[in-house]
Every structure is written in structure tokens, then in C-alpha cells.
């Protein structure tokens, strides 16, 4: 099925839509039944039947169907945040005494959650590359978790190779695919077991919702939906689901524009004398560019670059001189954003992560590329002064 059709029309011509152009938002917290027997059957299958908002909802369910189809998965489950999806997914796969193997740099709160699990007897180990996995795996290892491109560094991982290694060793592979969106990369087709996303980023696309999703086989999604989803209470609201559905309608067009503008800005920075390195997989100079071309069909506009400085003051001064890039967290919306770990992350933590002082992260939005390039050029000139 064509991705553009999935984004724009899948499930939107069914009788319950009543011909509405926009999917109805079901605001009710509960659903009633014609008999006690029907209620009992519904509760036994609350991951698929409409009983109570905390289980599922027709508006949310439509979004789940679209996202599962985009990822080429059997099922998807949406959550009230990306961390809701990540924490529920990991929790569903481990018990006390188990071990999680983390490959490469991953989203900071994911690492924080893994540390939180230590008080329940679940341990984890970070490794830099697949070659180190053999020495880090244990008899109690259950999960291999990774991102590609990786967090902050945007290193590219051979997804099929990692998924194959995990399968050979009896591990469930979980990959965060937020950077690429399901349009530009489909990990499930390369052997990954479960894929997670923050819907707050490109899929929502307008910085007006917080949400998350996990997609994969029905065998893995159903127990997660019946247990962790229900007990953790990180339910997605129907209003946020409706916003995400609207975001999907324009996702193919927006991602093409993000890619174009992001590459233009990255190319400018790659040639600037005050920039040491640009970490964008779409640039031919990126070490993982050839691999990215093989397993991805496009590139988003989130990347990092390193200023030619060891001074936190220089980094702060650079950010303050920008006028069109707004200073803030998150990414994936219309607006261009800038952030710098040196200003927000403790130095000891950055050293552990291998993040240099001069690292700056850009989320290139949908403003004209020439305006953004001029903005960066002026700020870089100010850094030289």
C-alpha cells in the first residue's frame, strides 16, 4: 500500500466516519453495552474493544492503524508521550534479574529510565558498536535497544545486521525510528522486532501535541497493550490522536521540504571555517552516508555540528546571536530550533557520552533555507569577533 495513501486516506472512508472530512474525535471516557455478556467479552479484549478511554478509543485506533501500516507492522499502540511508549515497551520485555543491551547513543531519558529500572533488578550495558556486543551479552540479556541515526551524534547503524545478530542470540530488538519517520526508514522490514517513535516530532509536525507509539507484531504488542499500557496509564488522548492524524496528511510533503532545507543548511555549515564537523547522514562526507543510502529513502532535518571552540561562553554567545533559530528543546515542527548540550547537560555526563563542548544541535524547520543560512552565517561571524 502506498505511504501517501496511508497517511491521507487509510481508514477514513469507513461507515463510522459518516462522510466527515476530518475523523470524529470521540471525547467520551467510556462506552456502554447492550448486555452484561457483551461487556465481559469486551473487557477480556480491551486492547481492541472500546470500553474505557484508558484502553483504546476510535480516534486513537485510527491513528494506530495508520502507523502500523506505515511501519509495515501488524499492530501499533499509541501512548500519551514518547517516553510512555519507550518505558512500557522495555518494561513489557524484562523482569527482575534481566539485562538490556544498549547499542550506541540513545535518547537521554531512555537511559534515565534504564537506570530507574535498576532498583527493580533490571540492569543494562551500553556499547559503542556491534563488535562490542559479543563481549557484553549475558545469559540474562533479553533486549537489544538502539537508534539509527543515533542520538546527537547521528551515527548510522546497519539495521539489518543488528537485528539479525539480536535474533541469533534470542534477543528482542527495539529501535527508536523517530529521526527518519516511517516514510524514510522501515526497520520492521529489516528484521527489527519493535519500533518506537515520539509522535511529538515530525509525525505531529506542529509542536502542538505530545505522544508516542510502538509498532510490531501482534504477538508482542497485545500483551503490552493489555498490561503496561493499562497499568502505566500513559493513554493518548483522542484530541492528540486527531492532531497526529492531521499531521500525517501532510507528512510526505513536509518531510520532502525538511530534507531539502536540512541538506542546504548542513552543506553550508560543512564549508564554514568555524565549524569542525557536521553530523548529517545525508552529506557524502558523513561516515555512514553510503549505508544510509542503502537502508533509508530520505533524510530528516535534525543534525548536529561542532563549533571550533572549547568555550561554553562561545557556544552560548552563538545561540544568542541567532534570530531565526529559536532556542528550545524538541524538534520536527515548522519552526527551526537550536540547542547545545554544553549548556544543558552536566560536563561529567557529556564526557561519558563523548559530546564535545562545541556541539550544537539544529532542527531545520520549513522557513526558507537562505534565511536560515544567513542567520547562521551572521552568528558564526560574531563568534569570530
pLDDT given at position 88: 97
pLDDT given at position 16: 84
Residues involved in catalysis: 54, 107, 176, 201
- Indicate if the pLDDT at residue 2 is higher than 70: yes
pLDDT given at position 381: 92
Task: Please check whether residue 130 is in contact with residue 103, taking contact to mean a CB–CB distance below 8 angstroms.
Answer: yes
- Main-chain phi, psi angles of 11, to 5 degrees: 80, 0
pLDDT given at position 1: 79
Model confidence pLDDT, tens digit, residues 91-122 = 999 999 999 999 999 998 999 999 999 999 99
Percentage of the residues of the chain whose pLDDT score is greater than 70 = 97
CA 139 to chain centre: 29
Alpha helix segments (H runs only) across 282-385? 289-295, 312-321, 341-344, 347-353, 369-384
- Indicate if the pLDDT at residue 84 is higher than 70: yes
Q: Find the length of the chain.
A: 385
Confidence of residue 385 (pLDDT cuts 50, 70, 90): low
pLDDT given at position 216: 98
Model confidence pLDDT, tens digit, residues 52-64 = 878 889 999 999 9
Q: What angle do CA 175, 177, 178 make, to 5 degrees?
A: 135
Burial (CB count within 10 angstroms: exposed 0-12, middle 13-18, buried 19+), residue 56: buried
Instruction: Tell me what the mean pLDDT of segment 69-83 comes to.
Output: 97
Model confidence pLDDT, tens digit, residues 179-228 = 999 999 999 999 999 999 999 999 999 999 999 999 999 999 999 999 99
pLDDT given at position 14: 86
- Indicate if the pLDDT at residue 234 is higher than 60: yes
pLDDT given at position 349: 56
Task: Please check whether residue 128 is in contact with residue 105, taking contact to mean a CB–CB distance below 8 angstroms.
Answer: no
Beta strand pairing status for 359-363 and 337-339?
Answer: antiparallel
Strands (E), 184-288: 194-198, 212-216, 275-279
CB atoms within 10 A of CB 286: 23
With cell 561542532, the residue in question is 306
Helix 369-384 vs helix 312-321: angle between axes, to the nearest 10 degrees? 140
Confidence of residue 124 (pLDDT cuts 50, 70, 90): very high
Model confidence pLDDT, tens digit, residues 341-376 = 888 766 655 555 668 889 999 999 999 999 999 999
Model confidence pLDDT, tens digit, residues 273-330 = 999 999 999 999 999 999 999 999 999 999 999 999 989 899 999 999 999 999 999 9
Cell numbers that stand for 330 in this block: 524538541
The average confidence (pLDDT) of the chain is 94
- Indicate if the pLDDT at residue 168 is higher than 90: yes
C-alpha count within 13 angstroms, C-beta hemisphere, residue 378: 12
Burial (CB count within 10 angstroms: exposed 0-12, middle 13-18, buried 19+), residue 147: buried
pLDDT given at position 365: 98
Task: Please check whether residue 300 is in contact with residue 255, taking contact to mean a CB–CB distance below 8 angstroms.
Answer: yes
User: What distance in Å separates the CA atoms of residue 261 and residue 246, rounded to the nearest whole number?
Assistant: 22
pLDDT given at position 279: 97
Handedness of CA 310, 315, 321, 322 (dihedral sign): positive
Task: Please check whether residue 306 is in contact with residue 274, taking contact to mean a CB–CB distance below 8 angstroms.
Answer: no
Dihedral over alpha carbons 8, 206, 195, 85 (to 10 degrees): -120
- Indicate if the pLDDT at residue 267 is higher than 70: yes
pLDDT given at position 360: 97
Instruction: Tell me what the mean pLDDT of segment 19-34 comes to.
Output: 91
Amino acid at each position: 500500500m502506498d505511504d501517501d495513501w496511508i497517511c491521507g486516506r487509510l481508514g477514513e472512508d469507513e461507515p463510522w466516519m459518516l462522510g466527515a472530512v476530518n475523523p470524529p474525535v470521540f471525547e467520551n471516557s467510556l462506552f456502554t453495552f447492550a448486555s452484561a455478556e457483551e461487556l465481559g467479552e469486551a473487557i477480556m479484549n480491551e486492547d481492541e474493544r472500546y470500553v474505557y478511554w484508558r484502553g483504546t478509543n476510535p480516534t486513537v485506533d485510527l491513528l494506530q492503524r495508520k502507523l502500523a501500516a506505515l511501519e509495515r507492522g501488524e499492530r501499533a499502540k499509541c501512548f500519551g508521550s514518547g517516553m510512555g511508549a519507550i518505558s512500557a515497551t522495555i518494561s513489557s520485555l524484562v523482569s527482575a534479574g534481566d539485562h538490556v543491551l544498549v547499542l550506541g547513543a540513545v535518547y537521554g531519558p531512555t537511559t534515565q529510565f534504564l537506570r530507574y529500572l535498576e532498583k527493580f533488578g533490571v540492569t543494562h550495558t551500553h556499547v559503542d558498536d556491534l563488535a562490542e556486543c559479543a563481549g557484553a551479552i549475558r545469559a540474562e540479556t533479553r533486549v537489544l535497544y538502539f537508534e539509527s541515526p543515533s542520538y546527537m551524534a547521528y551515527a548510522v547503524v546497519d539495521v539489518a545486521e543488528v537485528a539479525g545478530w539480536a535474533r541469533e542470540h534470542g534477543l528482542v530488538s527495539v529501535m527508536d525510528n523517530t529521526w527518519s519517520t516511517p516514510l524514510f526508514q522501515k526497520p520492521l522490514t529489516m528484521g527489527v522486532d519493535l519500533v518506537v517513535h515520539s509522535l511529538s516530532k515530525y509525525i505531529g509536525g506542529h509542536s502542538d501535541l505530545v505522544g508516542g507509539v510502538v509498532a510490531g507484531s501482534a504477538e508482542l504488542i497485545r500483551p503490552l497493550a493489555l498490561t503496561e499500557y493499562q497499568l502505566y496509564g500513559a493513554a493518548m488522548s483522542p484530541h492528540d490522536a486527531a492532531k497526529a492524524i492531521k499531521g500525517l496528511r501532510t507528512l510526505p510533503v513536509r518531510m520532502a521540504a525538511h530534507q531539502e532545507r536540512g541538506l542546504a543548511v548542513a552543506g553550508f555549515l560543512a564549508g564554514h571555517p568555524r565549524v569542525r564537523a557536521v553530523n548529517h547522514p545525508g552529506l557524502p562526507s558523513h561516515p555512514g552516508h553510503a549505508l544510509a543510502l542503502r537502508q533509508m529513502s530520505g533524510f530528516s532535518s535534525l543534525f548536529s555540528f561542532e563549533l571550533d571552540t572549547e568555550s561554553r561562553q562561545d557556544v552560548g554567545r552563538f545561540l544568542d546571536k541567532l534570530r531565526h533559530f529559536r532556542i528550545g528543546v524538541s524538534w520536527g515542527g515548522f519552526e527551526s530550533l537550536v540547542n547545545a548540550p554544553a549548556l544543558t547537560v552536566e560536563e561529567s555526563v557529556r564526557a561519558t557520552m563523548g559530546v564535545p563542548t562545541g556541539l550544537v544541535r539544529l532542527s531545520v524547520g520549513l522557513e526558507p533555507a537562505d534565511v536560515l543560512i544567513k542567520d547562521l552565517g551572521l552568528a558564526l561571524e560574531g563568534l569570530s569577533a
